Structure 1
């Protein structure tokens, strides 16, 4: 029979599906759409209702499959493509989402949701000007929607228009005062305004917190762990991929004592990359809850009977706080992801230090301040490709002013951070340093719609555009850009964090202004922790004087530059192990207040926890030597990367990379890496013997090594040179395997 015979029945099922979806009865909606499909297989509405319901039930993968079929059947249906783009966004496939949404807009540019989703995709991909243009198109169609207004305000913020952004955010909040995403966007934007006080932020955080639980609702009582097992530590985050937080999360997980602590990591975002894989390897339990229905998430986390749960997002997108408001662990704290008070009674502690939050900052928080001894997190560079930390390209170089003949100030930053205060201070520094330049690396500076408004703002502040070097941000230049900068001029009120660590590790001093609130003091904490507290300034005038003083003596600046990395790598900021021991002591005290935490046995000595088990150092050394002997390049890189997550610099890694470079005929790089290995592993005579041979091969002077051997061992150079060249096993300090000895 023809479909027209069943048209009334199909129409009835589709109306029922629409009504069920509106009533949030998503499973009923799916069943009714499936009933309609029994009578008409090729109706795009049945696919859309099923996909929408699966998305609402937290199953984007299922929705993706449905919409892939729908796109094949209905290639010219714009609504199908809009939904497909949204699902791809939810799955973290932003480039694919962009292509699908562009196709939808070509088919029908009148769909406001298509423009809104397209804007979100471009925003995530850091095309902020494109995102602003797209959301404007959505507002032309739907001008009063508070969500669109809030997203438009976000794009204004990211392109540096903070005052305009705040005005639009407040308009959105007035239209939807109980919408948490809208309200939290206002809170976050307030941090970029120099007029915002710590009290302002606390009040707005409390207003956001009040929206977390419906009026009259209460968190369910917890069942505390009853056994004597390890401390159960949970981490809840939306950013477990190549994100700024990874530079602190990975060394933390790799250096935790897993005999004392059992780690549960909960991912709110389905996006996965090589960083996600590393995090999975250093946690006993990695639970992807991105497809879990929101109302199921609190119970799922409670089932783990955690002792401690860490919020790692605050009021950023897809906030963990909306779940932690229900009290999911006896102790809950906030760390890294958001630089301020949550205002939420259910968060017990905020992990800080004495510089980000000195005495008196208790008044700006609803949480107790848990102050780390020196710095509130440990940083490791190049967490996505840690072996590059040994590469020549990433070693500090002489300050570029020696070659350029002028000082190049610089900043690698999001445009949103370039505030009026920042421009005032930059203008004064440049005015007092004639001939100097200012290098800015920001997303989109290769495009006129991004670059020209920035230069106009700078001109209004008195900065001549001829003195500004604009460079578009590229991931591969994250550290290399600092070879072109003499002094970093930090931003304010939102200061550098990960990028301040990047600069210092590359040897570049960072001048920063420490304001009142926590988010204004992050970089000041970082420079203080590496022994450069004088670069953390408390007035604008001091900021300018400090930058000018550094620039005035290029020889002294160069000497500082060539010593900063050593200072950094000897500092608490680089010492994840000590930070983790302190943190373990704190959470052991918490758990000990209601149970006796236990511990599991592990073999004696140091090692690395990865892939669910403990790997002793001796086992790791054997694996490295075996892969070296076998010429297994990929296997060697895998083992060395696992080592590097715990020890950012280790003699074994430098030695193995040296051997690899030597086999490839790169004697110069091999020698540099061998020197680094010997520096990291003092008093290894086999290593020094090999180093002597390599120095001879490269025609390098041996005087420094000869003096060291005499002072450390009382040995003459000739004695060591008379010894045979050591084998890999002798250098590693392990017995040769029987088959190797026989060969």
Structure 2
């Protein structure tokens, strides 16, 4: 080696050492200086590209990788780096071409094969991904990663049992590999096997404690089985990290941990920045379409027997078909359950896109020329919020499934009412608001079964005052349970009827009750059941005790529908004011209290003053069918008016629909400003 080459080698080695130390900026400057000095070393340009990617400068990284390939056109590692940089930019087609060229030049390298599988999964080509994953033998170094990716692809296809097996194979092959443990835990969580989820999350945390979102998921899974070991400290630590912008807890989980809308907003912003593409800020073409009806698309994975579907079903059918065409974009499963059959019959188009990639769904929506797109899922389980980042309609709305802000420019509007967001909390919602007289859609066709013998079936004392809460168990915090314990202690002969899905959950909560001085027998547990039985249970109870920081939503309106009063403490956040909104809409504002002490005192008073309680319950049962909460036709007209105002572009800020709105006849035009909207 010549002296000149030796010097160049040493200088590159020095730059490489800086990169090895994670001193990316210093390394990048060293590589740049060497390149400007005329280096013709393809490895230098490759390493420079790697460094530029670490500095989140993908365009410059692409230029560096291309210079490496200009010096050595068969340089497979440079094609791999180029592929990763294109992925950073969201250029999926270019990334795919680059990784295929890497494999063409070095077909046996595991890291390239695994990258192709990952790209196939993200492109929605799950069968192709599975074929590639199955080409790995057990003795291949990349086998554990291939099995983990196989599990992800199987999960996308809905093959949950096979996905569990694949994750198990990955764990068996490499017990130190944290990713499949977390992925298997997520599957257990989704299948409501919470104890198994906690065990896998604990194992994953032991191996990779800094993994994004892992700490929050573990705490959330534990809350479902009332596993409150170290809860206060874990919660405090987690929320401090959320406040610092760390990716430790998904927004929905943070809503279960705090009533602080500012922290919830930070969590949403962090989630959006870390997991979603930069929202497309393309020009929005507002205005009413010429020569056709306005097209509304409701987008979700929950168009089946699910709380969101139970609420929205009648609204979809009641939309004014003289003005609107209504489509459903269903990226959940296609099923033959009664609710999905009803939804399919109630809309103009029902598109099953479960097996389509985000990009394909975006293209479908654009081809349909959707005018108003409504996301009914938000940041809940297995949401595909990236669809909205790509802008699928001039007006994009967040509604119903997720209670709060998205923290990013995904949506133009969030639907609310004056009880959910007020002047003090308005700054914690980044979107504009559609303020309706009442927030929640409802379905007048839901059944109303009699309570019958549900008390006897459940083992409830015949003459007891029955407090109940059938909220998701994760909504029950130690503080909330302590308040309930105070109530039970002051109401002789009362019991508390709760939802629990695992024996461990029952054991844990009875243990907590004993620690608070309660007889564990005062707790009665219900398991999951069919919808009519669940509604009949609500009719058999006396008073529904709501939770904070995350209120009952569908469960609260179900209770009110069945004539069961709901007591809530109003919080500060959107999720902490849901029951308050419902109680105002059903004409029972006196059941909304401000403090926990008032919550306890009110519950005790209602349970011990039979005359007052009976008057309140009779009033609910007499007035519920005429209440604003269950006036679905009027609600639908209000929602339509908000949609039309947004699409017209005649109002720049929040849209507020009046407290009352006259019923709209489908044979008369809507008027927005001076514009009449009629069917074509």
The two structures share one fold, judged by TM-score above 0.5: yes
Q: Judging changes above 3 Å, is the alpha-carbon distance between structure 1 residues 483 and 305 closer, same or farther for their aligned structure 2 residues?
A: closer
Alignment partners' CA distance in 1, 2:381 and 2:467: 33
| Contact 2:442 2:629 survives alignment (8 Å) | yes
Aligned position for 1:266: 329
Residue in 2 that maps onto 1:234: 297
| Structure 2 residues not aligned, in runs of 5+ | 1-73, 88-94, 652-664, 669-680
Equivalent of residue 554 in structure 2, options 498, 523, 526:
498
Is 1:584–2:640 an aligned residue pair? yes
Q: Distance in 2 between matches of 1:176 and 1:366?
A: 17
Do residues 550 (structure 1) and 606 (structure 2) align?
A: yes
Cα RMSD for the two superposed structures:
4.4
Alignment of 1:473-492 (within 5 A): 473-475=528-530, 477-482=533-538, 484-492=540-548
Aligned to 1:26, which of 86, 96, 110? 96
1:256 aligns with 2:319: yes
The alignment status of 1:440 with 2:506, answered yes or no, reads no
- What aligned pairs does 1:446-595 form with structure 2 within 5 A after superposition? 446=503, 448=504, 450-475=505-530, 477-482=533-538, 484-553=540-609, 564-565=620-621, 567-593=623-649
1:488 to partner: Cα distance: 1.6
* Deviation string, structure 1 residues 181-205 (Cα, Å, up to 9, x no partner): x36x3533332335x4233333444
- How many angstroms does 1:119 deviate by? 0.4
**Corresponding residue for 2:218?**
152
Matches within 5 A, 1:27-46: 27=97, 29=99
SS of structure 2 residue aligned to 1:374: coil
Q: 1:603 to 1:202 in 2, by over 3 A?
A: closer
Deviations 1:204-259 (A, max 9, x none): 444555568778x8612244565232112222324333332111221221111222
User: Among 121, 139, 160, which residue is 2:205 paired with?
Assistant: 139
Task: Verify the 8 A CA contact 1:71 1:80 in the aligned structure 2.
Answer: no
Q: Provide the C-alpha distance between the structure 2 equivalents of 1:89 and 1:543, rounded to a whole number of angstroms.
A: 43
Question: TM-score, normalised on structure 2?
Answer: 0.70
Structure 2 distance, partners of 1:550, 1:594, is 48
Single out whichever of 435-444 and 222-231 deviates more from structure 2.
Answer: 222-231
How far did 1:497 drift? 0.8
Counterpart position of 2:428: 364
User: Following TM superposition, by how much is the alpha carbon of 1:562 offset from its aligned partner in structure 2, in angstroms?
Assistant: 6.8
TM-score for the superposition, normalised by structure 1: 0.65
Partner of residue 191, structure 1: 255
Q: Quote the offset at 1:338 in angstroms.
A: 1.6
CA drift at 1:301: 3.3
* Shift in alpha-carbon separation, 1:273–1:143, aligned structure 2, 3 A: farther
**For residues 79 and 214 of structure 1, what CA distance do their matches in structure 2 show?**
25
Counterparts of 1:690-729 in structure 2, within 5 Å, are: none
Partners of 2:358 and 2:386 within 8 A in 1: no
* Matches of 2:411 and 2:133, distance apart in 1: 40
TM-superposed deviation, 1:498: 1.1
* Contact map agreement 1:455 1:465 (CA 8 A) in 2: yes
Maintained 8 Å contact 2:242/2:263: no
- Residue 374 (structure 1) aligns with: 438
Contact 1:501 1:526 in 2 (8 A): yes
CA distance in 2, matches of 1:537, 1:218: 42
Report the Cα distance in structure 2 between the residues aligned to 1:204 and 1:18, rounded to whole angstroms. Answer: 33
**Residue 349 of structure 1 aligns with which residue?**
413
Q: Which residue of 2 aligns with 1:414?
A: 472
Residue 710 of structure 1 corresponds to none
Counterpart-to-counterpart distance in 2, 1:237 and 1:398: 39
Partner deviation per Cα, 1:296-331 (whole Å, 9 max, x = no partner): 655553443333222323333455544434544333
Partners of 1:64 and 1:394 in 2: how far apart? 51
Residues 512 and 102 (structure 1), Cα distance of their counterparts in 2 relative to 1, 3 Å cut: same
Q: For each residue in 1:341-391, what CA deviation from the matched residue of structure 2 results, as whole angstroms up to 9, or x when unmatched? A: 333355332211233234554343233332222343224575xxxxxx276
**CA shift at 1:334, angstroms?**
1.7
Equivalent residues in 2 for 1:637-716 (5 A)?
none
After TM superposition, list the pairs within 5 Å mapping 1:19-418 onto structure 2.
22=84, 24=87, 25-27=95-97, 29=99, 51-64=117-130, 81-102=147-168, 105=171, 109-160=175-226, 161=228, 163-166=232-235, 169=238, 177=246, 182=247, 185-194=249-258, 196-208=259-271, 219-223=281-285, 226-270=289-333, 272=335, 274=337, 275-295=339-359, 297-298=361-362, 300-319=364-383, 321-345=385-409, 347-358=411-422, 360-380=424-444, 389=447, 404-418=462-476
Describe the SS at the equivalent of 1:113: helix
Deviations 1:382-440 (A, max 9, x none): 5xxxxxx2766789999999972221212112222112431232122112101211122
Q: Distance in 2 between matches of 1:482 and 1:218?
A: 45
Q: Number of aligned pairs? A: 567
Look up the match of 2:56: none
- CA distance in 1 between counterparts of 2:100 and 2:534 reads 47
Partner Cα distance (1:78, 1:366) in 2: 42
* Distance in 2, Cα, partners of 1:590 & 1:531: 29
Distance 1:524 1:174 in 2: 27
Rounded to whole Å, the distance in 2 between the matches of 1:300 and 1:85 is 27
Assess if the C-alpha contact under 8 Å between 1:238 and 1:319 holds in 2: yes
Work out whether residues 311 and 335 of structure 1, in 8 Å CA contact, stay in contact via their aligned partners in 2: yes
Deviations 1:654-711 (A, max 9, x none): xxxxxxxxxxxxxxxxxxxxxxxxxxxxxxxxxxxxxxxxxxxxxxxxxxxxxxxxxx
Moved more, 491-500 or 435-444: 435-444
Answer with 90-99 or 249-258: which moved more: 90-99
Deviations 1:529-577 (A, max 9, x none): 2233222222323322332232225577567657745543333332322
CA contact (8 A) 2:563 2:617 kept: yes
8 Å Cα contact 1:399-1:483 kept in structure 2: no
Aligned to 2:485: 427
**CA 1:176–1:390: 2 relative to 1, 3 Å:** closer
Q: Is contact 1:198–1:517 with CA below 8 Å preserved after alignment?
A: yes
Gap regions ≥5 residues in structure 1: 1-11, 383-388, 596-601, 606-743
Partners of 2:473 and 2:499 within 8 A in 1: no
Distance 1:534 1:603 in 2: 37
